[in-house]
């Protein structure tokens, strides 16, 4: 009996699903809810007495500090995933609770700068640190447990980050509808507890394989920068730039997604389409990374993502799909296809970065190098949304369109079709630039070069 129990204990302790996949999903499904910001941003603005534009910076700061904390704490993750995953749980949950407190304070002190700054610090900085460390912590562990299917493994976890929006959005909306007065700050306080429990369980379960020996600094011999310089520096710069551009373009379109959907006459289906786009986001993370496992060079996936994005952006540009889509079924479908393709490519870009880096630079410093590369996400968080907002404000003019409600009445919606269409001109230029970078700067991996030599023989 004793031996049987011992065997069972050893079994779950060395099970890659329990020690890597499940904790990764618990961590990523928690922190991925940062992308639910659009669900409650207007409610926060109204409750504390500020404009939506003023509160939007909280989300931008969260993404910026996600990238920065990943860049600067990558070495902590490399050395000790238990410490980094605990930091993630504490920072994310306390940041969420702090956001709830300052929303409450802002509700009782309308227009208080202290409330706004408190939200920036809690949602932007403290949660941002939790996001960066939580995002990085399970990635290398997954690649070690699923050595033969690294793309599938990282795609599974990162898909949890993308799927979090689809899972949490209806729950958050239901909480806002049913918690009564002050529901917005109550929601944050309740979810802070829920997500801390989820992330803490993930922290307890997360473990590297028993057979993995983490090289010590002397054994590694090379610093992170020395590893990067083991190939032409342009190779890493190319990976960083195409990752940055893909996120910038994705955020530019996704940040305007709700208004674009209203613009093409589907205001009543905004929630459904938002959920479907989140599913495409998660599906792109899992599908593109699993597909990349079958390829000699994972950079091929990025070329495919950029080509698809260019094609669908170009079609909607040429047809004026956003401006002319209201009432035109074909153009409406094309615009929706663009939204879904960009969401899938945006997600796929994330899931393929760690495996692409490991193919180029090996596993020894992967958490640190991946963390440094995620700084691109941080800068894109500041530029993607803001670029799109500036374009929409600068080009075109607001117009009113009719929207039929379920009770037969009509409401007027204010949109800027020309402005949303103009965003596509910026993103297609950036996508073309990213494609050129992936073709010119990012070199084939050693495995791809060996396969090419074998074919010539």
Task: For residue 208, give the nearest of 146, 155, 256 by alpha carbon.
Answer: 146
422 alpha carbon, distance to own chain's centre:
24
Superfamily of the domain at 224-444: MFS general substrate transporter like domains (1.20.1250.20)
Give the angle 346-261-47 at the CA atoms, nearest 5°: 90
- Which pLDDT belongs to residue 78? 76
| Helices marked H in 293-374 | 299-319, 321-324, 329-361, 366-373
Distance CA 38, CA 257 (A): 10
Contact 110, 48 (CB under 8 A): yes
Please report which residue ranges of 206-269 form alpha helices under DSSP H: 217-220, 224-228, 233-255, 257-263
Q: Which CATH superfamily is domain 19-207 in?
A: MFS general substrate transporter like domains (1.20.1250.20)
Other CB atoms within 10 A of residue 443 CB: 17
pLDDT of residue 318: 95
Write the DSSP assignment of 95-143 as a string of letters: HHHHHHHHHHHHHHSTT-HHHHHHHIIIIIIIHHHHHHHHHHHHHHHHH
Predicted pLDDT of residue 219: 43
- The answer to whether 48 and 188 are in contact (CB under 8 A) is no
Instruction: Give dist(CA 45, CA 58) in Å, integer.
Output: 11
Q: What 3-state class would DSSP assign to 222?
A: coil
Look up residue 141 and give its two tokens.
């562990």
Residue 212: its pLDDT value, please?
Answer: 61
pLDDT of residue 7: 44
Give the C-alpha distances (Å, rounded to integers) separating 415 from 136, 314, 392, 397, 401. Answer: 38, 22, 10, 8, 7
CA distances from 374 to 33, 102, 211, 289, 368 (A): 18, 29, 28, 17, 10
Nearest residue to 161 via CA among 325, 332, 349: 349
411 backbone dihedrals φ, ψ, rounded to 5°: -120, 155
For residue 271 the two structure tokens come to 């929630």
The pLDDT tens digits along the chain (457 residues) read 445 444 444 556 678 888 888 999 999 999 999 988 878 888 999 999 998 889 988 998 999 999 899 888 887 887 888 899 999 999 999 999 999 999 999 999 999 999 999 999 999 999 999 999 998 888 888 888 887 787 887 887 778 887 888 888 889 988 998 998 899 999 999 999 999 999 999 999 998 887 665 555 444 446 777 888 888 899 999 999 999 999 999 999 988 888 899 899 888 888 788 888 888 988 998 899 889 888 888 899 999 999 999 999 999 999 999 988 888 899 999 999 999 999 999 999 998 998 899 888 887 778 888 889 999 989 998 898 889 989 998 998 888 887 666 566 667 778 889 999 999 999 999 999 999 999 999 988 766 666 556 566 5
The pLDDT score that the predictor gives to residue 455 is 61
Domain boundaries, the chain: 19-207, 224-444
């Amino acid at each position: 009996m004793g031996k049987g129990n011992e065997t069972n204990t050893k079994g779950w302790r060395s099970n890659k699903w329990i020690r890597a996949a499940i904790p990764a999903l618990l961590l990523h499904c928690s922190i991925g809810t940062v992308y639910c910001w659009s669900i409650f941003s207007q409610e926060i603005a109204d409750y504390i007495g500020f404009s939506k534009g003023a509160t939007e910076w909280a989300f931008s700061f969260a993404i910026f500090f996600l990238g920065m904390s990943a860049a600067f704490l990558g070495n902590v993750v490399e050395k000790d995933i238990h410490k980094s995953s605990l930091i993630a749980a504490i920072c994310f949950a306390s940041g969420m609770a702090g956001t709830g407190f300052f929303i409450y304070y802002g509700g009782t002190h309308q227009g208080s700068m202290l409330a706004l700054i408190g939200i920036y610090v809690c949602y932007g900085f403290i949660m941002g640190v939790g996001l960066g460390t939580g995002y990085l912590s399970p990635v290398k562990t997954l690649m070690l447990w699923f050595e033969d299917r690294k793309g599938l493994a990282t795609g599974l976890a990162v898909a949890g980050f993308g799927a979090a929006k689809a899972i949490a959005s209806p729950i958050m909306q239901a909480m806002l509808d049913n918690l009564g007065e002050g529901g917005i700050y109550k929601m944050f306080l309740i979810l802070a507890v829920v997500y801390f429990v989820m992330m803490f369980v993930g922290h307890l379960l997360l473990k590297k394989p028993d057979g993995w020996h983490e090289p010590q600094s002397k054994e590694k011999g090379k610093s992170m920068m020395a590893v990067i310089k083991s190939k032409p520096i342009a190779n890493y710069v190319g990976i960083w730039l195409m990752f940055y551009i893909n996120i910038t373009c994705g955020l530019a379109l996704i940040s305007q997604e709700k208004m674009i959907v209203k613009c093409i006459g589907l205001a009543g289906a905004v929630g459904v389409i938002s959920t479907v786009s989140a599913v495409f986001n998660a599906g792109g993370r899992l599908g593109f990374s699993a597909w990349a496992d079958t390829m000699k060079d994972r950079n091929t996936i990025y070329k495919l993502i950029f080509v698809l994005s260019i094609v669908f952006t170009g079609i909607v540009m040429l047809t004026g799909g956003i401006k002319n889509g209201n009432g035109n079924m074909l153009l409406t479908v094309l615009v929706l296809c663009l939204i879904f393709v960009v969401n899938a490519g945006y997600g796929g870009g994330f899931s393929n970065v760690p495996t692409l880096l490991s193919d180029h630079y090996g596993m020894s410093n992967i958490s640190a190098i991946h963390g440094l590369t995620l700084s691109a996400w941080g800068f894109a968080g500041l530029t993607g949304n803001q670029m799109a907002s500036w374009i929409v404000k600068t080009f075109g003019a607001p117009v009113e369109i009719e929207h039929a409600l379920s009770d037969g009445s009509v409401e007027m919606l204010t949109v800027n079709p020309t402005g949303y269409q103009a965003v596509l001109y910026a993103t297609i230029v950036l996508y073309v630039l990213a494609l050129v970078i992936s073709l010119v700067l990012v070199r084939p991996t050693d495995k791809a070069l060996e396969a090419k030599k074998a074919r010539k023989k």
